[in-house]
Structure 1
């Protein structure tokens, strides 16, 4: 009889936001390595839907005879599970948090056939009446696979639904996602005369920095809704030579004022935390010394990949930079014009010997990285490894 040891990921309060390794991650990895070389352990089940554990799974499979089973919450992103599936067996489980009654958000996002989205009010009964069973989701996936909007059951569903809706001139609720599923299931009840995917559309769901004000949270009713509202809303783009510059411009990385440099705009895009994780999932690495043509090609591959859900972070905001520069005498006021902020950023970078930048966003990101690194050093001194292992 196989002996399975379950390693559970625990997200301790106060351990988020650091660029340094999480003590939980280190502890789990050490325990997994210890178990892997014990004679009385045949398999390890890792209940940790975090891409940071991909290396651990790969290490265990290459350097021991132990079997690794990776467990994911049922509603986990299929693209994350897909990455682990290349290295281990994958299974799903239900969590208590997913069984709780979800508080209905007050806003929804509509994606129109012209590829532009709008925000509209969402009534609680509309949210509740759109609940669907997993069997219905599987049926929808199978239909979209037949029509070539999906390649397999593992790929994210939202981009495929949006491309199907646009191909049939339908306005679709992009968020909350289960409304989109319920809507398409009703559409597909009609006699099948559906268009096949012509593979010319790219779906992007920008995620902006959440607003901390009560006003936005009260209006949207959900922190996730605020992220998407602040991101500017989902959109569809035609695949082509101009795809990368157009998407970067819409995400705020490229403009005709202080962010004209396409190469540096891609560097900033690729180094945003969530974007970096998505690129890692696709085994795409973008280095600053790559040629701009190579960078564009790599970003293009990421945007059109069916393995990502299309969620990309918007360009970094400058609120923190403005406040810090004003507080430390580099700016007269935090509401100074962007040109003054850019000059202050250059002065600060030179004084601190930070990398020289050509664009406003890159200068903001360098200051943010510097502040995060300094703050992480202070937090690391206060952290201890968790005492209890599963």
Structure 2
């Protein structure tokens, strides 16, 4: 009888808190990370109603939305992954993940800062000093954005088969090749190009080299792909025909391109997962709002139906679980944990978060019904971006290959 008597009280209390049911869980953040998330929540609330304007701005003006980006720069967030002696601030990868996740939960998705932060971290880790001195303070100040050109038409994400060449010539390099899909060239000051370096002598095994290319340099051509602004940026096919890059635009060492990609991928995977978490939370909040107010049969909202309830409840459970994995992996990264362990966790986080956001986007379309197909709502962009996350920046299959072989110790057929 005591339990039964409390049921109305519990329901009333739960309904009173329904508006916050999609807020991040009660995971205990360290003080600095809690401060960052609180600031990000305030900023997200300020710009939430302008989400469509913010998404369209790069396409219409060739820059990130200046008001939002100025607020981000003022808080020092572009420098969260940059060493303090190079102009960065404390907060680390975990802090950056919290910023991107929180903004994405209001459908404020920023992809170029992911690439820039990941490339900046690689520069900080592998140098050389000329690159550190030239780029890190500018990245930390939010003065520059960087893009990545890695995948190719014939090999996709299998970068060991790239045909682009980065050939030493005089006091620099000459770059030739074609890159399949490169995001945000029109917004970037430099593009990090990953290519094959011919051996110095005949019969030498080729290595790999990464150089920063000026997208306006002679010999650079790019054609926009009609992908309707996936990830909130334009996508391009990049052609490099005898492009000259000075020696100071080398990242890592000649033949050391793989050492550049290794630190890059940890950051890219985890920040991609953070964006997916935020977007999944946005989808869940939109679906819940619709399920609580939409009535079709009688006066009871459609959210009373288990066909609507159960998928959303399952998404909520998956969201909290995926968030814990992303936070733990980011915390381990910031603490200087074992990089192979972090790489495994980063790939797991990317797989889980990408599947999660796709399912969340699918369910918000189903729950909203016809309004989801109205392009003014922006849900179609959310759905297509969610689907893209399962194919890039690395495919689910390649991420699972890494987990299977490097975490579980299973053999490779290659």
User: TM-score normalized by structure 1?
Assistant: 0.25
Comparing both structures, which one devotes a greater share of its residues to helix? 2
User: TM-score normalized by structure 2?
Assistant: 0.24
